[in-house]
Amino acid sequence: MGKETIGEFEEVVMLTVAVLYKEAYGITIKEEMEKHLKRGVNLGAMRIALKRLESKGFLKSEFGEVTAVRGGKRKRYYEVTPQGKKVLEQVMETRKQLWKSIPSVAFDFKFG
């Protein structure tokens, strides 16, 4: 039940937010993710992930300026918090550890 854990989808969302830096809001996050994941991302699903990450304290958000496009609605920009960064690093660390522990024979496939 660790509050510190995040799922795979959440990880990608956070990474994308970090990649986009100051430009991370709904549509850009969705498009960036689709670009990297090479599959469609549902706006609703993504929004729920963002909301959850924010409530865990890994992301923070604020409204931007009103613009003429998008029906005059403000954009909500996201940013990774230091806490979020820590979690991301932890996840990466775990993966690295795992990669290191793989015995060389495990991936010793013979072809042809």
Partner 1 sequence: MNKIVHIKPPQKLLRFFRWFCDPDLVEDLEGDLIELFEERAGSSISRAKTLFIRDILFMFRPGIIKNFEGHKNLNNYGMLKNYLKSAWRNLMKYKGFSTINILSLSIGMAACMVIFLFIKDERSFDAFHEKKDTIYRLCEVQSFPGTNTQNVALSMPGMGPTMTAEFPEIENFTRFRSFGEQLIEVGDQRIMIENISSADSSFLSIFDFPFISGDRNTALNNPYDAIISKETALKLFNQMDVLGETFTINGDQCKITGVIENVPENSHLQFNILLSIRISTQDNPGFDNQFGSNFLNTYFVLNENADLDAMSKRYPDYLSSHIQRDDDINEFYKLFLQPLPDVHLASTDIEHDYNNHRKFNGTYIDIFILIGIFILIIASLNFMNLTTARASNRAKEVGVRKAIGAVKGQLFNQFIVESILLATLALVFAIFLAFISLPLLNNLIDRQFGIVTLFSNLEIVMVIIGATLLLGVLAGLYPSLYLSSFRPVIVLKGFKSYEKKSYFRSSLIVIQFSLALGMIVSTLVVLQQLNFMKNKDIGFGKDHILLVQMRGEAGEKYEQMKQALLGESNILGVTASGQRLGSNFHQWGFKVRKDTGIVSLTPSNVFVDHDYLDVYDIKLLSGRTFSKDFETDDGNAYIINKAFADELGFENPVGKRAAHAWYPDDSLGTIIGVTENFNFNSLHYKVNTLSMVVHTDWGYSEMSIKINGENITQSIQDVERIYNQFVTDYPIRYEFLDDHMQQLYESDQQMGSVITIIAVLSIFIGCMGLFGLASISIQRRIKEVGIRKVMGASTMELLTILSKNFALMILIAFVLATPLTFLFLSGWLDNFAYRIEINPLIFFVGGLLALVIALATISFHVVRAANANPIKSLKYE
Chain positions 5 to 64 lying near partner 1, rule: CB under 8 A, are 25-27, 30, 42-45, 47-48, 51-52, 63
Nearest distance in Å: CB 48, partner 1: 4
Interatomic CA distance for residues 26 and 47, integer angstroms: 8
Residue 24 burial (10 A CB sphere; 0-12, 13-18, 19+): buried
d(CA 4, CA 18): 18
Nearest approach, Cβ of residue 75 and partner 1 (Å): 6
Number of residues that bind partner 1 (CB under 8 A): 20
Pick one of 69, 98, 102, 105: the residue that binds partner 1 (CB under 8 A).
69
- Residue closer to partner 1, measured from CB, 12 or 46: 46
Look up tokens 């100051």; give the residue.
22
CB of 83 to partner 1, least distance (A): 21
Task: Take residue 1 and report the two structure tokens written for it.
Answer: 């039940």
